[in-house]
A and B are shown apart, each in its own frame.
Chain A
Amino acid sequence: MTLPLIVFFACAIAAVVGAILLILAREPIHSALSLILVMVSLAILYLLLGAPFVAAIQILVYAGAIMVLFVFVIMLLNAGEEERTDWSKIAKWVGLPLGFLLLLEIAHWLFHSEPGTAIVNGATAPPPASTFDLSTALFRQYLFPFEATSILILIAILGALVLARKDE
């Protein structure tokens, strides 16, 4: 076991445990905190993959902005313990087995596949894509999609304002 492998398994276990806690938690605020655990461990994995910019926006935008928004709405609506109802039979008898079937398929594929391309970590690794390269690609090759996302954000702000407005 080398150090990158230990870091990978620690983060992978933390992420999976966080995802399972998200399902098991009855209070929405506990689900939100376990989702933050998943996002922070994924940010460490991005650092391991040589993508520091993606790791930074994962922390800033996901664990920062989006999850603060979630926690804010949970606090604002005073969302308590989840109601247990038996109204949606289809979710319980069809959705849940299908979800576990997907997990089983992934496990089956995992045990019957070749190891695939290796990602080399450490001093001997080829240099990863720098933030400079990423921004160059973003502002040259992907300039139009980048500008389109700003219009998307603008429309999202307007939509949120219209939806959250009080009826006069």
Chain B
Amino acid sequence: MSVIPVSYYLALSGVLFGLGVVAFVFKRNIITIFMAIELMLNAVNLAFVAFARAHNQLDGLVFVFFVIVVAAAEAAVGLAIVLALAHTRQSLNVDRVNLLKF
């Protein structure tokens, strides 16, 4: 019989979330910042699935489903914003996007 404590999964989830936060504040390219958000969402999904398995509940898996749907919608709209931004500013650097109206 083999056993993996649920805390291992939560620790991995926490470490991935922390690395996502570091990437979010550290990267200057707007596409990479979006990827950092996706990394954080993935870390949260891992915690949801681990808890769902540990407590034998389905709700965690249903939540993961909704998180993935919202992430897909967010990526579609966010990348459209990136496209519009790249056309007006000719740059992907977030430091150059510091005015709401240009």
Contacts and interface: CB of A to CB of B under 8 A. Distances in A.
Interface of A: 2-5, 8, 12, 15-16, 19-20, 22-23, 28, 31-32, 35, 38-39, 42, 45-46, 48-51, 53-54, 57-58, 61-62, 65-66, 69-70, 73-74, 76-77, 79, 82-85, 87-88, 91, 95-96, 98-100, 102-103, 106, 109-110, 113-122, 124, 126, 128-129, 133-134, 137-138, 141-142, 145, 149, 152-153, 155-157, 159-161, 163-164
Nearest to B14: A106
Interface string B8-27: 11111011111111111111
A163 B15 CA distance: 35
17 contacts: A15-B12, A31-B27, A39-B42, A69-B79, A96-B26, A98-B25, A102-B17, A110-B7, A113-B7, A129-B58, A134-B62, A141-B62, A149-B69, A152-B70, A153-B72, A157-B76, A163-B81
B77 A19 contact: no
A79 to B, nearest CB: 6
Contact of B18 (A38, A85, A99, A122): A99
Contacts of A5: 2, 4
SS class, residues of chain B in contact with chain A: helix
Given A82-B32, A122-B2, A54 B64 contact: yes
Interface string B67-102: 011111111110111111010000111110000000
Given A22-B39, A38-B39, A119-B54, 11 more contacts: A16-B15, A31-B32, A42-B42, A49-B49, A57-B68, A70-B31, A77-B31, A79-B31, A120-B3, A133-B58, A153-B72
